[in-house]
Amino acid sequence: MVQGDYPKRFMIKNICCIGAGYVGGPTMSVIADRCPHLNINVVDLNKKRIEAWNSKDLNKLPIFEPGLDEVVGNTRGKNLFFSTNVGESIKKADMVFISVNTPTKSRGIGSGEASDLSWVESCARDVAKYAEGHTIVIEKSTLPVKTAATIKSILNSVKNSFKDTEKSFAVLSNPEFLAEGTAISDLKNPDRVLIGGEDHDAIEALANIYKSWIVDEKIIRTNLWSSELSKLAANAFLAQRVSSINSLSAFCEETGANIYEVSKAIGLDNRIGDKFLKAGPGFGGSCFKKDILNLVYLSRSLGLDEVADYWESVLQINNWQQKRIYKKIVSTLFGNISNKQIGILGFAFKSNTNDFRESPAISICRDLLEERAILKIHDPKVEAKDIEKALENEFSDIDNCNNKKSRDQGGYFVVEKEIEKTFYNSHAVVILTEWEEYKIIDWENFTKNMIAPSWIFDTRNVIDESDFKSNNCNIWKIGNGIKN
């Protein structure tokens, strides 16, 4: 089916995406690349973010994703534009994607569990105010079930208050299923595209865009509520697998089993598969924790306490795993890390992204700093200012620390640009992100500069012990109960 087969009101020429973050920017860039006939405007109130998207240096985009720079370079200024002109972009749009942040509420009813939908509500009001004619409004942010009903209510109420009979809206749910680090490939070749809605013509108008590069068999049509729940459920299931394998990693350490051998054996069962069965310091990122908390809150609101308890346990195991690693480091270093230098390799929650939101490194570093350790942190993509922000400047940076007493007592961190410096005079080095750079470290030379008895804590299975050559250093690998 081609665009001409649709009613005139569903002829899509101009798209507006509100939100230039981790979802909106990459998603619209790929749509622009695959649909050169569409004109796409990505808008955001954050001027610095928009300036970064418009940077002449494609290495300075606000988001690091492999392949993103190439896609943006191919489309920006042609049919892809980034601006702060929210109202004007909505006015011209036939289709508006809402792709704004939906953080967990920090206060009020549902604090610590429910999603804060203030930005979504604000977007709905802007669309109702500025849109002209018929507009398809698409939920792209991860949202609680029944949020579409709220958006519909706002659109219709604001429209009626303006007494504008020329305006009409169709609301769809089109959740993203992107993994940071592989977002561009996920967008170009997705497992599925999910579109939920009640208006058949609007659903097909959106499906027709995706069919520019995706076969129709991968495009799933559902009702609104199934689409909204599917996103939460997918993230909850993935997080549950991570917590499950991490719980077994502790079991392996106590029994002499090896988690990498166990996970391989489990993963070969085609009923289970091998995805998300790598033991580590726990899951992070912007979605897993937030979506599970949302699921917990919704379950309790519906009186499903047992369901809420089940999903809450996934988060409890994740937090426990991070605490367990921190305690293991302290106990191995004779129960005292005060004023001891510890190198931290990796701050992003996973490799191939500069996203550090909910990264296990944040919790582990905080606990080590509370023990008055001196941390030397390295990450190839997370900037020093972001690391400082994540740790909330509670602990002094050595370069800015003028108080000799606080230096002597420890409890501060520095950000290193060179990997080798994290080893110098360190009692231990902890690998928290599986960056490729950490897999090719010259262990024999780097560990010579550590203080004996020195330790490498590998929480990501980065080190191939058969290639590890060092007479100066001991290794602890998560889930490895086999004594060497």
Cβ neighbours for 348, distance < 8 A, ≥ 6 positions apart: 354, 355, 356, 359, 361, 379, 381, 382, 433, 435
Contacts of 293 (CB under 8 A, 6+ apart): 104, 112, 113, 114, 315
- Catalytic annotation, residues: 176, 231, 287
Taking the C-alpha atoms of residue 65 and residue 191, their distance in angstroms, rounded to an integer, is 19
Q: Look-up: residue for tokens 């129709």?
A: 216
Contacts of 364 (CB under 8 A, 6+ apart): 281, 322, 325, 326, 430, 432
Place of tokens 């350490």: 253
User: Residue-wise over 51-74: b if at least 16 C-beta within 10 A, else e?
Assistant: ebbeeeeeeebbbbbebbbebbee
Residue 39 three-state SS: strand
Beta strands 219-222 and 134-139 are unpaired
Closest CA to 80 of 138, 132, 25, 135: 25
The pair of structure tokens assigned to 213 is 């590069």
Which phi and psi angles does 476 have, rounded to 5°? -120, 125
Between CA 420 and CA 423, with CA 421 as vertex, the angle to 5 degrees is 75
Q: Which two tokens stand for residue 252?
A: 């392996």
CB-CB contact of 392 with 366 (8 Å): no
